[in-house]
Structure 1
Amino acid sequence: MTKQVEGTYIVNSQFVVYVLSIPGRPVYRYNALRTVGKSVCFVGTEMGKFGSLSGFVRYLEAFALLFYQFTLPLHKAYKQKRNIYQAMKHSIGRILAAGAVAAGLAVQTGCTGEQFHVTGSVANAKDSVLYFEHNGLDGFSTVDSVKLDEKGSFSFAGDKMDNPEFYRLRIAGQIINIGIDSTETVEVKASYPQMATDYTVKGSYENEKIKELALKQIGLQARCQTILAERPELADSIINVMLTDYKRDVSRNYIFKEPMRAYSYFALFQYIAVGNQARLIFDPAKDANDNKVFGAVATSWDTYYPGTERTQNLHNITIKGMKDERIVKAQNRPVELEAKELGVIDLPLRDNHGIERHLTDLKGRVVLLDFHVFAAKGSTEYIMKMRDLYNKYHDRGLEIYMVSLDNNAHFWKEQVASLPWINVYDDTGISQAYTAPAQAFPIIYLIDRGNNIVKNPSQIRNLDEEIAKLL
């Protein structure tokens, strides 16, 4: 007689199958732990656990029966179950094949059972669709949705991430922001149609803080709208004062206290709408103090969540803010950009060896003035084309003066180490004399031997031909 395997086997997070060995036939029992609906996730399905191939087959038969029983509304007695089992044996081969595929997919997708859960209810929202959306770096994406019944109950789940992630519950324009850290369960109870403000959250310190910040933001928005309506002539100055007070409160009482927290990251990206224009509350591109706040969170996240995408995003924003601050300072101090009698505007910038280079020193040569970002997509292919032009025309008098607009000077130096032409780095903003009026990309100007600009970006149709004409 075929050896039977006795014991409890977890099929997935919803079901437990119990296989009991009885002489002559197996008896199958099951226990539904939670709502049906999740994909199969086999746990511990090593062959040795079942004793034999026959044991594994019996296990899959148990799962097949379990699945079938959940599709039938009526199965009250063991006798009925046995009849169903006998009927299922005729098609068990196909079910076994499907089960094997499901097991393989489960292994491939790394279904570990480590998930977070967001549960709760929304009152007064019968027949409304509740969306559970991920707030990623690239925007919002729908994770799941449910049409609410009279009770308004919902339950969503998602895979654990290596760093805090952000989600939202949404019905139409009413939004509840949720921060998720590890495998926690967050319980939310809300009332529609004011669920954005009329809700409670349990089981999560992070989300209690996020709620506080969200309510502060909503209050600030309301006050700004009132000022715009009642005192439009003074609105800008008053709103600036309100924003300064808000940032002082949030940075001191939230962000600087626990910069490693999800709610601190959330606070950095709050915004208000002023005159139909979205305006960041903390704007590192315009305020050096705001950039310091970003830097505090970036440093903390680098310690707690090193190498993650959100940590890198914080670093990128902080570095860009530092560069923008230098540009603003450069714009606010007198910068001598002499327009020579021959028309070119000089660009006194240092190259990758620390030597100051001048565009005006290249009089007598045809110059391809190129403003480039080495970190941009397609940069490698673009540089190869520039190298071909340089090799073709350099001996005839062509020089390339390439200005890097990258955020990272170290990265730029690595990229230009083997390039034969003049490479300079702009960390002052002086290049805006050329980049601001440009109406086409790439931003290339052609300068003749007399130091005159003869072609701007929008005038260049065939770069190779234009260079040949000037030579």
Structure 2
Amino acid sequence: MNRSYLAVSVILLLTAACQPSVNRFTVNGEIKEAEGKTLYLEQIGLSKIVALDSVKLDSKGEFSFSSPSPENCFDFYRLRVDRKSINLVIDSTETLRVTASLPTMQSNYQIEGSENCSKLKEIVLLQMDLMNNLRNTISDSGAMMVSLRQQRINELIEIFKTDLKNGYIFPDPSSPCAYYSLFISVDGQMVFDPQGDRDDAKCFAAVATQMDILYPDAVRTAHLHNTALKGMVKTRTATTESPESSETAQTLESLVEEIGHFEIELPDVKGKVRTLGSLKGKVVLLDFTAYKTDWSPNYNLTMRQLYNKYSSQGFEIFQVSVDPDESFWVNAAVNLPWVCVYDENALNSNYLKLYNVQSIPAAFLIDREGNLVDRPEDQKSLDEKIAKLLAE
């Protein structure tokens, strides 16, 4: 073999081996009755739609696309032929199979390989039903009074919103379908109005809190977060006398006040995931701390005194450690009687950001209904406030 050829081959192989691998997702399938048409795979961004790939369909309608998986967060895509499309949601390296016929492509398609895409289809069909009902209401109203027709339109939209809240938003606010639901529009107008409807603003806040935890660096998270905050400010301004008071709503703590508290899911000393929300029905002291500090022994002694005094009355401590040394925490927390969990991100914990914790220790009180009600500053007031909440 030619030595120079061998050397070049070795260099090419080494170069290829050094290239970082890129995670990709695949979408394949068939679009029938579309011979000669061009099928596009497009990414649906926040501000624009970007064509990623395309293929001219033959008589079989077979296609296969592969594209880099989204980073930091799920993302939305669509398959489009002319003005007909199928919406997709991608969050990893999944392989999807889509089959449809062009004439009924938007509503009567089959999709395999993604539970999120299947749920997204359910939402799309609900939206289509809404649009059909709205059109029928407008065309069949005849001599109906304008006010009655508008009342019927409002009723249909409220039913649709209720279906989205109960079926997709509140059952799993961290899901792509919960996020997608918030931004559905009808004739160019958003169905959920975070700046005009207080309940709608709570929907945005519920999803925003989960995305802050799961996708803190994602562009979609920042956009949703800002939208939720603006909604809280707007809806609060309408019910408060002082404009200055609405400025405080621009903090994350204001979102906590609206939806109760930010959920926390972290492992305890045995590796079991514990959730803050599971303690609903008890008065809870949420405590952010670090065990490997000079003040920790005396601080936990105070916590034990409170626990011994009130635990039999329905009081619990949910203590979050942000120690850099997990082993030290395990040894120190293993015999403590309350709920002890650990955040491996230590002082970079997203939960510290969510609760606006600037220094530790930091304590919060949560009532039996799961509402964050206070942030005590000293032991004496903490004792008194626990007793008051238990007596309610």
Output the TM-score relative to the length of structure 1. 0.48
Name the residue aligned to 2:231: 321
Provide the C-alpha distance between the structure 1 equivalents of 2:117 and 2:244, rounded to a whole number of angstroms.
Answer: 49
Name the residue aligned to 1:223: 133
Provide the C-alpha distance between the structure 1 equivalents of 2:150 and 2:49, rounded to a whole number of angstroms.
Answer: 30
Name the residue aligned to 1:267: 181
Provide the C-alpha distance between the structure 1 equivalents of 2:190 and 2:96, rounded to a whole number of angstroms.
Answer: 28
Name the residue aligned to 1:119: 28
SS across alignment from 1:193: helix
Distance 1:111 1:291, change over 3 A: same
The one-letter code sitting in structure 1 at the alignment partner of 2:158 is: T
Counterpart mapping for 1:249-268 below 5 A? 249-268=163-182
SS across alignment from 2:239: helix
SS across alignment from 2:9: helix
Question: What is the Cα deviation at residue 56 of structure 1?
Answer: 3.9
Unaligned segments of structure 1, at least 5 residues? 1-24, 27-51, 64-99, 336-347, 353-471
SS across alignment from 2:31: strand
Superimposed CA distance per residue, residues 355-413 of structure 1 (whole angstroms, 9 cap, x where no aligned partner):
xxxxxxxxxxxxxxxxxxxxxxxxxxxxxxxxxxxxxxxxxxxxxxxxxxxxxxxxxxx
Question: What is the Cα deviation at residue 162 of structure 1?
Answer: 1.9
Provide the C-alpha distance between the structure 2 equivalents of 1:178 and 1:206, rounded to a whole number of angstroms.
Answer: 8
Counterpart mapping for 1:181-196 below 5 A? 181-196=91-106
Provide the C-alpha distance between the structure 1 equivalents of 2:9 and 2:162, rounded to a whole number of angstroms.
Answer: 66
Query: Among residues 143, 154, 157, which one is paired with 1:243 in the alignment?
Result: 157
Query: Among residues 36, 55, 58, which one is paired with 2:9 in the alignment?
Result: 58
Which of structures 1 and 2 has the larger relative contact order (alpha carbons within 8 angstroms, sep 6+)?
Answer: 2
Name the residue aligned to 2:307: none
Name the residue aligned to 2:206: 296
Question: What is the Cα deviation at residue 113 of structure 1?
Answer: 3.4
Counterpart mapping for 1:67-216 below 5 A? 111-160=20-69, 161-216=71-126
The one-letter code sitting in structure 2 at the alignment partner of 1:128 is: K
Question: What is the Cα deviation at residue 206 of structure 1?
Answer: 0.3
| Two-structure CA RMSD over aligned residues (Å) | 2.7
The count of residues paired between Structure 1 and Structure 2 equals: 241
Provide the C-alpha distance between the structure 1 equivalents of 2:191 and 2:133, rounded to a whole number of angstroms.
Answer: 14
SS across alignment from 1:329: coil
Question: What is the Cα deviation at residue 325 of structure 1?
Answer: 1.0
Provide the C-alpha distance between the structure 2 equivalents of 1:149 and 1:314, rounded to a whole number of angstroms.
Answer: 41
Question: What is the Cα deviation at residue 213 of structure 1?
Answer: 0.3
Unaligned segments of structure 2, at least 5 residues? 248-392
Provide the C-alpha distance between the structure 1 equivalents of 2:160 and 2:121, rounded to a whole number of angstroms.
Answer: 16
The one-letter code sitting in structure 1 at the alignment partner of 2:106 is: A
SS across alignment from 2:238: helix
Superimposed CA distance per residue, residues 87-107 of structure 1 (whole angstroms, 9 cap, x where no aligned partner):
xxxxxxxxxxxxx9xx59x97
Superimposed CA distance per residue, residues 2-32 of structure 1 (whole angstroms, 9 cap, x where no aligned partner):
xxxxxxxxxxxxxxxxxxxxxxx38xxxxxx
The one-letter code sitting in structure 1 at the alignment partner of 2:176 is: A
Question: What is the Cα deviation at residue 326 of structure 1?
Answer: 2.9
Distance 1:151 1:60, change over 3 A: farther
SS across alignment from 2:28: strand
Q: Which structure: larger Rg?
A: 1
The one-letter code sitting in structure 2 at the alignment partner of 1:136 is: G
Question: What is the Cα deviation at residue 349 of structure 1?
Answer: 6.2
Query: Among residues 258, 261, 280, which one is paired with 2:190 in the alignment?
Result: 280
Question: What is the Cα deviation at residue 58 of structure 1?
Answer: 3.5
Question: What is the Cα deviation at residue 221 of structure 1?
Answer: 0.7
Provide the C-alpha distance between the structure 2 equivalents of 1:153 and 1:196, rounded to a whole number of angstroms.
Answer: 17
Answering whether residue 223 of structure 2 is matched by residue 309 of structure 1, we say no
The one-letter code sitting in structure 1 at the alignment partner of 2:179 is: Y
The one-letter code sitting in structure 2 at the alignment partner of 1:260 is: S
Provide the C-alpha distance between the structure 1 equivalents of 2:175 and 2:153, rounded to a whole number of angstroms.
Answer: 28
Provide the C-alpha distance between the structure 2 equivalents of 1:269 and 1:210, rounded to a whole number of angstroms.
Answer: 13
Question: What is the Cα deviation at residue 253 of structure 1?
Answer: 1.4
Identity across matched positions, percent: 35
Counterpart mapping for 1:443-462 below 5 A? none
Superimposed CA distance per residue, residues 172-227 of structure 1 (whole angstroms, 9 cap, x where no aligned partner):
11111000011111111111121000100001000000000000001101111111
Provide the C-alpha distance between the structure 2 equivalents of 1:151 and 1:235, rounded to a whole number of angstroms.
Answer: 47
Provide the C-alpha distance between the structure 1 equivalents of 2:11 and 2:62, rounded to a whole number of angstroms.
Answer: 33
Distance 1:58 1:198, change over 3 A: same
Distance 1:292 1:349, change over 3 A: closer
SS across alignment from 2:192: coil
Provide the C-alpha distance between the structure 1 equivalents of 2:244 and 2:177, rounded to a whole number of angstroms.
Answer: 42
Question: What is the Cα deviation at residue 150 of structure 1?
Answer: 0.8
The one-letter code sitting in structure 1 at the alignment partner of 2:181 is: A
CA contact (8 A) 2:72 2:217 kept: no
Name the residue aligned to 2:300: none
Provide the C-alpha distance between the structure 1 equivalents of 2:196 and 2:151, rounded to a whole number of angstroms.
Answer: 16
SS across alignment from 2:103: coil
The one-letter code sitting in structure 1 at the alignment partner of 2:109 is: Y
Structure 1 segments of 4+ aligned residues over 6 angstroms from their partners: none
Provide the C-alpha distance between the structure 2 equivalents of 1:132 and 1:326, rounded to a whole number of angstroms.
Answer: 42
Distance 1:201 1:226, change over 3 A: same
Distance 1:168 1:58, change over 3 A: closer
Output the TM-score relative to the length of structure 2. 0.57
Provide the C-alpha distance between the structure 2 equivalents of 1:178 and 1:124, rounded to a whole number of angstroms.
Answer: 21
